[in-house]
C-alpha cells in the first residue's frame, strides 16, 4: 500500500479507495493516516470481506483500489528490459517483476499470451514492484520485439538448451550492451520459433546435479549478470 501511495503521489496513477479491517487499521495507523492525508477514501470492512477482495487465503486486511499500472510500450533510452513471453503463472510473473526492479531494469514487458500483470497473485508476488518500474503488455509479441530492436536493445533468449552460456558471453563483453532478456514459461520455456527470431540465446550454466532452474531464479541470474556488466562498463 505504501508503494501505491507513493506511485499516486508521483502522478503516475491514482489510488481510488482503501478498504481496511479493524485489526489491520490498528496495526498500520500511519498507513491509514497517510491515505487520509492523500485524500483517499478509507472504508472499514470485515475480515471476510477483506479475504474476498484480496483473493487470498491469508489476507493482510488492507486492500487498495488503484488505476491500472501498465503503460504504453516505450523503450527509448532503456538499457535493460525483461520480456515475459507466454508466462501463465502469475506468481512467477510477479516474482520476475520484483527481480527486474531489484536489478535496476528499465521496464518489464508482458508479451503474447502472458498473464495479466494486474492479476492479484502477480501483484502480491511483486511485493510492490509493479508500482516501481514501467510495465507494458502486448498480445503481439512481434511488435514487442520490433520495439526492442528500435530502441537499440539486443534480444537475448534465456534458453536452457542454448549452445552458449551467459558466463562465456559475459567474459566476451556481450552483456555490457543494452539488452532485452526474453523469458518463457517455466514449464515449456520459449518456443523454438520464437528463439529463432531473437538475436541470440544464452543458458545459465548448471554446475551441480539440478536438472534446471525455475523461471524467477534464472531471471535473477540473467538480469543481475547484465546489470553488473553494464555498471562495470560505465
Task: Give the pLDDT of residue 54.
Answer: 79
Beta strand spans in the chain (E) = 15-20, 42-44, 62-66, 80-85, 107-111, 135-138, 154-158, 164-165, 179-183, 200-203
CATH architecture of the domain 2-66 equals 2-Layer Sandwich (3.30)
Query: pLDDT (tens digit, 9 = 90+) per residue, 114-125?
Result: 999 999 899 999
User: How confident is the prediction for the chain on average, in pLDDT?
Assistant: 94
CATH of domain 80-233: 3.40.1280.10
pLDDT at 56 over 90: no
Domain segments of the chain as ranges: 2-66, 80-233
pLDDT at 58: 72
**What's the pLDDT tens digit per position in 92-143?**
999 999 999 999 999 999 999 999 999 989 999 999 999 999 999 999 999 9
Q: What is the per-residue DSSP string for 25-65?
A: HHH-HHHHHHHHHTT--EEE--HHHHHHHHTSSS--SEEEE
Coil vs helix vs strand at 80: strand
- Can you tell me the mean pLDDT for 141-165? 96
Amino acid at each position: 500500500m505504501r508503494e501505491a501511495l507513493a506511485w499516486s503521489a508521483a502522478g503516475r496513477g491514482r489510488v481510488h479507495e482503501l478498504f481496511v479491517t479493524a485489526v489491520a487499521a490498528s496495526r498500520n495507523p500511519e498507513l491509514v493516516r497517510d491515505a487520509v492525508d492523500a485524500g483517499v477514501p478509507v472504508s472499514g470492512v470485515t475480515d471476510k470481506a477483506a479475504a474476498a477482495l484480496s483473493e487470498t487465503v491469508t489476507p493482510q486486511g488492507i486492500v487498495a483500489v488503484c488505476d491500472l499500472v501498465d503503460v504504453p510500450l516505450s523503450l527509448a533510452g532503456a538499457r535493460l528490459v525483461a520480456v515475459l513471453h507466454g508466462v501463465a503463472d502469475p506468481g512467477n510473473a510477479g516474482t520476475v517483476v520484483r527481480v527486474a526492479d531489484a536489478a535496476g531494469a528499465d521496464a518489464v514487458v508482458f508479451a503474447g499470451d502472458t498473464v495479466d500483470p494486474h492479476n492479484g497473485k502477480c501483484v502480491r508476488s511483486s511485493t510492490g514492484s509493479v508500482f516501481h518500474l514501467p510495465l507494458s503488455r502486448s498480445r503481439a509479441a512481434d511488435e514487442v520485439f520490433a520495439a526492442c530492436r528500435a530502441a537499440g536493445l539486443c534480444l537475448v533468449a534465456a534458453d536452457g538448451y542454448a549452445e552458449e552460456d551467459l558466463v562465456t558471453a559475459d567474459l566476451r563483453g556481450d552483456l555490457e550492451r543494452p539488452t532485452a532478456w526474453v523469458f518463457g514459461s517455466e514449464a515449456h520455456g520459449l518456443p523454438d520459433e520464437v528463439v529463432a527470431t531473437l538475436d541470440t540465446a544464452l543458458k545459465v550454466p548448471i554446475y551441480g546435479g539440478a536438472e534446471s532452474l525455475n523461471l524467477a531464479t534464472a531471471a535473477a541470474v540473467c538480469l543481475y549478470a547484465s546489470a553488473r556488466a553494464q555498471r562495470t562498463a560505465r
